[in-house]
Amino acid sequence: MMETLRPNTLLRWLSIVGIGEAGVDGLTAHARALVSGAELVVGGARHLALAAPLIRGETLQWPSPLSDAFPLIARRRGCPVCVLASGDPFHYGVGKQIAQFASADEILCLPQPSSFSLAASRLAWALQDVATITLHGRALEGLTRHLFPGARILALSWDGSTPAKAARLLTDLGFGASTLTVLEEMGGPKERIRCTPAESFALENIAALNVLAIEVAGGAGARIVPLTPGLDDSLFESDGQLTKREVRSVTLAALAPRPGELLWDIGLGSGSIAIEWLLRHPSMRAVGIEENAERAARAMRNALALGAPDLRVVEGSAPDALAGLPSPDAVFIGGGLTDAGVFDAAWAALKPGGRIVANAVTLESEALLVDAFKRRGGELTRIEISRATALGSFTGWRAAMPVTQWRAVKS
């Protein structure tokens, strides 16, 4: 059997060196040599200042957006280039983006302990038991899905204002008793660690480079997002355009979400299906298509409130609004069931192996599902729910409108 050998490390022209607040004193001899021998050294202003005693070649400070520097780096292919980064470049760092234009055989990475590792060591927390997230360039509401009593969270802050904003969010959601620890400039001479309850947060002059540690504690009224599909209807703001809890559970099961997949939610309404899809795993993606501007805004508010800020909302009417969207792994059609063209456009865009699920409550929309079933195959299911309600001084069953569901898998 032929064996593929990796190129000699000498051919790796692009080095990525993790540098901490200790500066050059914290670098190994190998890392120092890579910085000193580079014709071009790339990094943020702080990184370049920390490594200044070693730099002999040109310097390039990261522009905004960061990606503008990537072609400049790629043009130096074959010449020694060193990129400076914080901690571990391949853990919420620039390494992932660099690997999009340079192969692993071209890169030599020398990481330092990540901010998460440093924070966990300061707090004596087992890192595998901690939720690690970044709020750097991300919506603060991303915290919400991780909030339950007893949870521990480490979050990379966007800047010095992030801890106070997080404290307000926690308090508003009923987690004001949580303990916040702000760890600033770890590993350097200005390192500082301060603790405070979220509800009485008053820390000032927080360094921009900080990690926020949260020990979650909540009262009886805390807003906890359960792990199960079929969230309580009361958690969603709605004008009545809402897939109800029991039907939503069945629908999520039919959509069969898998990590990293993209959902199209056509006829977004209150956004419940797309939001629950996103809550299944941090890598999930969803695009909601909604022609009513007020409903589109309401769906986005629901997404933020439930910790799914990555929902993308497209205002427009299907099938026209579907043009140009990335191909989905799954499609849910809960609204707009008046035009068979929506089914055809969604089916054409769906990836092979993708799932399409549509729900109908009227005879007219049910007829469209029957037609789709005849043309595309799949399965038809009738969902009927009854709830106990008061009947005078007694209790009886009141049936909700039955839902017809069509599900098919594209071969």
Q: For the chain, which residues score pLDDT lower than 70?
A: 1-10, 335-336
Q: What is the 3-state secondary structure (H, E, C) of 266-307?
A: ECCCCCHHHHHHHHCCCCCEEEEEECCHHHHHHHHHHHHHCC
Burial bucket for residue 340 (CB in 10 Å: 0-12, 13-18, 19+)? middle
pLDDT at residue 335, as a whole number: 67
**Which residue has 């010449």 as its token pair?**
79
Count the helix, strand and coil residues of the chain and give each as a percent rounded to the nearest 5. 35, 25, 45
pLDDT at residue 337, as a whole number: 72
pLDDT at residue 336, as a whole number: 58
Could you tell me whether strands 210-215 and 152-156 are parallel, antiparallel, or unpaired per DSSP bridges? antiparallel
- Each residue of 171-194: pLDDT tens digit? 999 999 999 999 999 998 899 999
**Which residue has 């926690």 as its token pair?**
170
Q: What domains are there in the chain, each with its CATH number?
A: 11-112 (3.40.1010.10), 116-215 (3.30.950.10), 233-409 (3.40.50.150)
Query: Under a CB-based contact definition with an 8 Å cutoff, are residues 378 and 408 in contact?
Result: yes
Q: Partners of 17 in the beta sheet?
A: 84, 110
With b for 16 or more beta-carbon neighbours within 10 A and e for fewer, the 20-49 pattern comes to bbebbebbeeebeebbbebebbbbeebbbe
